[in-house]
Chain A
Amino acid sequence: MKTMKKNFKRLMVCLFLTVLMALISGCQDKPPVKLGFSGCLTGKLSDIGTGGRDGAILAVEQINRAGGIRGRRLQLIIRDDKHDPATAIQVDKELIQEGVAAIIGHMTSAMSMSVIPLINKEKVVMISPTTSTNRLAGIDDYFFSVCPPSKTESIHLARHMSGKMGLRTFACAYDLSNQAYTEEFCKYLKAEFENTGGQVILSRAFTSGRPFSYLDLARELFASKPEGLVLAASALDAAMICQQLAKLGSDIPVICAGWANTPDIIHHGGTAVEGVLFSGTFNNENSTFLSFKKQFMGRFGKTPNFGARYGYDAIQFFLHGLSRTNQMSHLKEVLKNSSIDTIQGKLEIDAYGDAKRRCFLVTVRNGQFEVME
């Protein structure tokens, strides 16, 4: 009887150990670090939004393949703000409720502006890939951007226009659907241009998405006979305006805001966008970028646009923060005043969470972007 009891005990011990081991091995999986992404994934501006998302997805997948952060996987939770301020606030609230460590987003300045009060109230770090409005620059808050404020771009372009190009006047058209970005872009460009003795002879606003005639707009711009034309618009809108100008026989040089700096402007603009000038922050011939481009092509079957590049950078920047602290409440502090090497060269973040990068002049030549300097 006794030995039988002993056998039974042995059996129970074995069972217990098995269950215990199963439990332990189950416990070894640490909970993932949740990370939110919100941007415009549908609608007219979705090319930047989906690009940013795909860049972020690529970065997260690479990090997880390499074993995550301190053994914890990253989980990217994606939301579509539909380029609508109310939706943007709504989806960010959802992300915060999910317990995300930070939010990567939004992709346009207008959306970022609308959620600033929410993230500052909830004390959640937001790293925007592409927000570049000057209105958010120089403020110590929970908002970071890996894209420099647009005034850097504006001043860079204005100096080139009045300097090498020798322009004395220009006309400009800007899109009110992303007013926070476009107005600021034009304002600083104008200020710098006028500082050097130039003159703005026409400034024309339009609202993308509402029915209007590109041709009429182009006619008006052309008629003002400027020496240069500045477009603060999305790639598709800029391409369409250029198409109309070409039809009108214009040979006025066109300068575009960085927003339009995506392959779409070439696809839709055709030869009409040849010679269009941008101020870009990356050199597409550098080896780090080429390797990123190859990985992106392999994953998504297309070339990365600037949304994708900045989306990828934003995740790298977040990772940089996590490597310096494991407490999310300290994230804001460790991200400030830091610098990392990104696929687009060196990125420096100042005490206000604003980015600083080297600027290049980019133009379209033979249906390709080309760095001028």
Chain B
Amino acid sequence: MKIHTSLKSILSFNFIVVATLPILIVGSLSLHILTQSMEAEISQRNLILAQVLASEVERFLEEPMRLLRQIRDVVDGQFIRQGQLSDSLQTVLGNYKFFDTIMMLDQQGIVTHLAPYDEDMIGNNMSYQPFFKDTRDSGQACLSPTFISMQTGQPTLTLSIPLRQGIIAGYLNLGVLGTLIKKVRIGGHGYAGITDRDGVLIAHPDTSLVSQRMNVRNVYVIRQAMAGREGTFPYSFRGVKKLGSAAILPHARWIVVVAQPIEYAFASVRKIRNIIWAGTLMALGLAITIAVISLRKTLNPLLRLAKDTQRVAGGDYHFPTYQKNYKEVDELAENFRAMTEAVKTREEALRESWKRLADRNRELKDARNYVKNIIDSMPSFLVSVDSEGRIIKWNMQAEKLSEKPWAAAKGQLVTEIFPHLAIQMADLRASLQKRLPVKQEKQPARISGETRYHNVVIYPLTGNGVTGAVVRLDDVTERVRIEEMMVQTEKMISVGGLAAGTAHEINNPLAVILQGSQNTLRRLSPEFDANVRAARECRTDISSIRAYLEKRGIFRYLRGIEDAGTRAAEIVSQMISFTRPGDSRMHLEDINDLLDQSLALAASDYDLKKKYGFEGIEIVRYYDSELDRMLCSATDIKQVLLNLLRNAAQAMPRDGETGDPSRRITLKTGKEGHQIRIEVQDNGPGMPENIRKRIFEPFYTTKRVGLGTGLGLSVSFFIVTNNHKGTISAESEPGKGTRFIVRLPIENAEGEKFDADFFPSEDEC
């Protein structure tokens, strides 16, 4: 990585390095040399002290040994009688305080003489004592390992030398070593200690370590000494770093250590090191200060130039004049000024051409917006697609229809966004291939649960080598509906007129038949005197005539004629009502109430209940509670609604006795412009288009013969269209249920709103 840094940093850094490196090198070198020589000196000093102590201890051991040799000489030279030996030993013990006990053993290790005298000890067998074995086997003076005396509790040593007959041994109390090393104090923290040849402490300032026979053989300095190396070694004891100097006693192989915590041992070295460090730091500080001051003077004009050029770069072309400075800097400043002028001129020219370009752009943008506005404002649905049917552009109407944002539709297949255009894809391909427009009229499509009709025009794009097409959709649903309704109404009026005319013609002969049959029955009745009299005149009586007629079934025929006549009269009367304007009185009614009343009627209808299980149908109401009351004939409208409910119930066959819970009639009311819209929808099997177009025709029924007259919907049609000037239509698709829509105008034919006061309500009549 290449370091990119400022001239100032580089110069400062170099300057500081040059100034401080020699100081640092000289400082650390002298520190190193000084530290080493001082440490060596301290180590040497401590070692000498240890050696002096060792020779002191050596001398301490010499003296009792000399004493034992003297006794040996006396005993072996037989200068004293055996009987006086114990007393002599007692005297020696009294005069020389080093021994706790002196004893003489024979060759078998039996204690023969002992001072001080102890009955329990005299005569004891000491042959398994290590000191006895060592002395007897070596034939030389021996020092035993140290141990803690049971009598004195002090570290003790057995000194033993061989006699001609047995050995002499003394228990040497080493307690005095403790007092010897207690005098050694170096700088308040240094001290001395002595261990025996096994590494067990026999003298230490902490006397408990001695009495507990602490073995310190694992301490580094002792390990070194036990391996025969005298010298000064750093070591760690109980977590404290120390400097230990060890000296070895040649004969006893004891170790004398002078120990000092390193922290205190090298305190003077640390002091000097601190001074050198402080000096180096000061030199460093001074070097940095000088570097900063001198560099500032050199670099300031350059920094100013940098700042000015930065301003020029930012767009301010005013370049200040410079006072005479360093020659190089002046030249640089002059060059910059010339450059600034050139840049300024060039930029002005550039700005001019930019402005022209921007104007042209704006015009272009306006034109594009205008075209877009035209396309968006069109009431038609416009989508332009590529050769594969992917959407390239659309207008506002298309966006509204798709209910999707442009971002989601862009580039998608047109059939994914408008699934109902799938059937037009063939046309699209044909149009692209033939490069001719294709037009389809009144294409049905189900959009949000409603059948809409569109005129579809597909025309290929021809200009600029663009391949693709534009799909234009115009919603003609309303027009189709109106056309359909006009045809329907026209047809119904002619059919209705025909039916009514026929009915009128039939009515007269029917009246004769009915009247004839009624009169015949009346004239056969025994209750009328005229009949009785007439019978008697014919030399018979009325009862015989009745008996005869009864016997021949004449009465049955007559009643049959009467019933058939009555039924025919009813049908005829309904047929007549097709053309007769409603004579029932109009009142202000609440449509929602009328719907509820019709529901109640349907629920109590025996036929509906029994055959179609009306109570098992779920009724869903979406009433508009804000609806105004409207003027209409309550009886007529209820009849219409009941017909529609019955039709719906009959359309949904019941499965078994339990009833199908999914059977549902949805009732909806709402305001639609100047009309009130009533919807009755079932979820039955629906019907195909050819049936739907004929359902309002009189006597048209899909039910089995005898189940309906085929007049219910026709009557409803005339009530709505003739009596109330409204419309009634049906929408259906097989498998998707049927919806009847009744629209009733709120205002009357003359365009005046019905005045509630003008028509007194039923209560007032």
Write the nearest CB–CB distance from A324 to chain B, whole angstroms.
29
Interface flag for B250 (CB, 8 Å): no
Report the separation of the CA atoms of residues A243 and B186 in the bound assembly, to the nearest whole angstrom.
49
Report the separation of the CA atoms of residues A41 and B206 in the bound assembly, to the nearest whole angstrom.
14
Of B207-215, B275-283, B723-731, the stretch lying at the interface with chain A is B207-215
- A299 touching B128 in the complex, CB below 8 Å, given contacts A3-B4, A43-B153, A46-B148: no
Interface flag for A271 (CB, 8 Å): yes
- A267 touching B199 in the complex, CB below 8 Å, given contacts A7-B9, A80-B208, A240-B120: no
Asked if residues A300 and B199 are in contact (CB atoms below 8 Å), the reply is yes
- Among the interface residues A2, A3, A270, which one has the most CB atoms of the partner chain B within 10 A? A270
Residues in B551-603 with C-beta less than 8 Å from chain A: none
Asked if residues A46 and B212 are in contact (CB atoms below 8 Å), the reply is yes
- A270 touching B217 in the complex, CB below 8 Å, given contacts A80-B212, A215-B119: no
Asked if residues B8 and A4 are in contact (CB atoms below 8 Å), the reply is yes
Report the separation of the CA atoms of residues A300 and B130 in the bound assembly, to the nearest whole angstrom.
17
Q: Which residues on the A side are within 8 Å of B208 (C-beta)?
A: 42, 80
Please encode chain A, from 271 to 287, with 1 for each CB lying within 8 Å of some chain B CB and 0 for all others.
11100000000000000
- A7 touching B5 in the complex, CB below 8 Å, given contacts A41-B212, A267-B128: yes
Q: Which residues on the B side are within 8 Å of A53 (C-beta)?
A: 212
- A270 touching B5 in the complex, CB below 8 Å, given contacts A46-B148, A299-B218, A301-B199: no
- Of all chain B residues, the one with the shortest Cβ separation from A243 is B124
Report the separation of the CA atoms of residues A78 and B119 in the bound assembly, to the nearest whole angstrom.
38
- Of all chain B residues, the one with the shortest Cβ separation from A368 is B128
Asked if residues B9 and A270 are in contact (CB atoms below 8 Å), the reply is no
- Of all chain B residues, the one with the shortest Cβ separation from A271 is B125
Asked if residues B211 and A300 are in contact (CB atoms below 8 Å), the reply is no
- Of all chain A residues, the one with the shortest Cβ separation from B111 is A243
Asked if residues A301 and B8 are in contact (CB atoms below 8 Å), the reply is no
Q: Which residues on the B side are within 8 Å of A80 (C-beta)?
A: 208, 212
6 A–B contacts, CB within 8 A, in A order: A3-B6, A42-B211, A53-B212, A268-B129, A299-B217, A300-B198
Interface flag for B741 (CB, 8 Å): no
Report the separation of the CA atoms of residues A36 and B158 in the bound assembly, to the nearest whole angstrom.
34
- A269 touching B211 in the complex, CB below 8 Å, given contacts A7-B9, A213-B119, A236-B150: no
Write the nearest CB–CB distance from A3 to chain B, whole angstroms.
4
Please encode chain A, from 237 to 248, with 1 for each CB lying within 8 Å of some chain B CB and 0 for all others.
000100110110
Report the separation of the CA atoms of residues A60 and B13 in the bound assembly, to the nearest whole angstrom.
55
Interface flag for A223 (CB, 8 Å): no
Please encode chain A, from 116 to 129, with 1 for each CB lying within 8 Å of some chain B CB and 0 for all others.
00000000000000
Please encode chain B, from 105 to 118, with 1 for each CB lying within 8 Å of some chain A CB and 0 for all others.
00001000000000
- Among the interface residues B12, B119, B124, which one has the most CB atoms of the partner chain A within 10 A? B124
Asked if residues A46 and B6 are in contact (CB atoms below 8 Å), the reply is no
- Of all chain A residues, the one with the shortest Cβ separation from B126 is A270
Q: Which residues on the A side are within 8 Å of B124 (C-beta)?
A: 240, 243, 247, 270, 272
Asked if residues B127 and A50 are in contact (CB atoms below 8 Å), the reply is no
Interface flag for A1 (CB, 8 Å): yes
Please encode chain A, from 294 to 305, with 1 for each CB lying within 8 Å of some chain B CB and 0 for all others.
000001111000
Asked if residues A271 and B217 are in contact (CB atoms below 8 Å), the reply is no
Report the separation of the CA atoms of residues A214 and B217 in the bound assembly, to the nearest whole angstrom.
37
- Of all chain A residues, the one with the shortest Cβ separation from B13 is A7
Q: Which residues on the A side are within 8 Å of B64 (C-beta)?
A: none
If A41-B211, A41-B213, A236-B150 are given as contacts, then 14 extra A-B residue pairs at C-beta distance below 8 Å, sorted by A number, are A4-B8, A7-B9, A7-B13, A42-B212, A46-B212, A54-B215, A243-B123, A247-B123, A267-B129, A299-B217, A300-B199, A300-B215, A301-B197, A302-B198
Residues in A301-341 with C-beta less than 8 Å from chain B: 301-302
* Residue count of chain B within 8 Å CB distance of chain A: 33
Asked if residues A50 and B213 are in contact (CB atoms below 8 Å), the reply is yes
Asked if residues B128 and A266 are in contact (CB atoms below 8 Å), the reply is yes
Residues in A238-262 with C-beta less than 8 Å from chain B: 240, 243-244, 246-247
Write the nearest CB–CB distance from B293 to chain A, whole angstroms.
15
Asked if residues B120 and A244 are in contact (CB atoms below 8 Å), the reply is yes
Asked if residues A1 and B145 are in contact (CB atoms below 8 Å), the reply is no
Interface flag for A225 (CB, 8 Å): no
Report the separation of the CA atoms of residues A299 and B199 in the bound assembly, to the nearest whole angstrom.
9
Interface flag for A367 (CB, 8 Å): yes
Q: Which residues on the B side are within 8 Å of A301 (C-beta)?
A: 145, 197-200, 215, 217
Write the nearest CB–CB distance from B110 to chain A, whole angstroms.
8
Q: Which residues on the B side are within 8 Å of A43 (C-beta)?
A: 153
Q: Which residues on the A side are within 8 Å of B211 (C-beta)?
A: 41-42, 46
Residues in B109-160 with C-beta less than 8 Å from chain A: 109, 119-120, 123-130, 145, 148, 150, 153
Interface flag for A44 (CB, 8 Å): yes
Q: Which residues on the A side are within 8 Å of B198 (C-beta)?
A: 300-302
Please encode chain B, from 1 to 30, with 1 for each CB lying within 8 Å of some chain A CB and 0 for all others.
000111011001100000000000000000
Asked if residues A272 and B212 are in contact (CB atoms below 8 Å), the reply is no
Asked if residues A270 and B128 are in contact (CB atoms below 8 Å), the reply is yes
Report the separation of the CA atoms of residues A87 and B642 in the bound assembly, to the nearest whole angstrom.
113
Write the nearest CB–CB distance from B303 to chain A, whole angstroms.
9
10 tightest Cβ-Cβ pairs between the two chains A and B: A301-B198, A270-B125, A41-B212, A243-B124, A214-B120, A3-B6, A3-B5, A42-B211, A367-B128, A4-B9
Q: Which residues on the B side are within 8 Å of A271 (C-beta)?
A: 109, 125, 127-128
Please encode chain A, from 173 to 200, with 1 for each CB lying within 8 Å of some chain B CB and 0 for all others.
0000000000000000000000000000
- Of all chain A residues, the one with the shortest Cβ separation from B10 is A3
Please encode chain A, from 23 to 59, with 1 for each CB lying within 8 Å of some chain B CB and 0 for all others.
0000000000000000001111010001001100100
Report the separation of the CA atoms of residues A76 and B128 in the bound assembly, to the nearest whole angstrom.
35
Write the nearest CB–CB distance from B146 to chain A, whole angstroms.
11
Residues in A72-86 with C-beta less than 8 Å from chain B: 78, 80
Q: Which residues on the A side are within 8 Å of B130 (C-beta)?
A: 267
Q: Which residues on the A side are within 8 Å of B4 (C-beta)?
A: 3
Q: Which residues on the B side are within 8 Å of A4 (C-beta)?
A: 5-6, 8-9, 12
Q: Which residues on the B side are within 8 Å of A302 (C-beta)?
A: 145, 198
- Among the interface residues B6, B200, B213, which one has the most CB atoms of the partner chain A within 10 A? B213
Write the nearest CB–CB distance from B707 to chain A, whole angstroms.
90
Interface flag for A61 (CB, 8 Å): yes
Report the separation of the CA atoms of residues A273 and B126 in the bound assembly, to the nearest whole angstrom.
11
Residues in B172-221 with C-beta less than 8 Å from chain A: 197-200, 208, 211-213, 215, 217-218
- Of all chain B residues, the one with the shortest Cβ separation from A241 is B120
Asked if residues B213 and A46 are in contact (CB atoms below 8 Å), the reply is yes
Q: Which residues on the A side are within 8 Å of B199 (C-beta)?
A: 300-301
Asked if residues B212 and A215 are in contact (CB atoms below 8 Å), the reply is no
Asked if residues B217 and A300 are in contact (CB atoms below 8 Å), the reply is yes
Q: Which residues on the A side are within 8 Å of B128 (C-beta)?
A: 266-267, 269-271, 273, 367
Report the separation of the CA atoms of residues A57 and B218 in the bound assembly, to the nearest whole angstrom.
10
Report the separation of the CA atoms of residues A4 and B13 in the bound assembly, to the nearest whole angstrom.
10
Report the separation of the CA atoms of residues A272 and B128 in the bound assembly, to the nearest whole angstrom.
10
Q: Which residues on the A side are within 8 Å of B123 (C-beta)?
A: 243, 247
Q: Which residues on the B side are within 8 Å of A270 (C-beta)?
A: 109, 124-129
Q: Which residues on the A side are within 8 Å of B125 (C-beta)?
A: 243, 246, 269-272
Q: Which residues on the B side are within 8 Å of A50 (C-beta)?
A: 212-213
Write the nearest CB–CB distance from A203 to chain B, whole angstroms.
22
Residues in B63-77 with C-beta less than 8 Å from chain A: none
Asked if residues A61 and B218 are in contact (CB atoms below 8 Å), the reply is yes
Write the nearest CB–CB distance from A372 to chain B, whole angstroms.
20
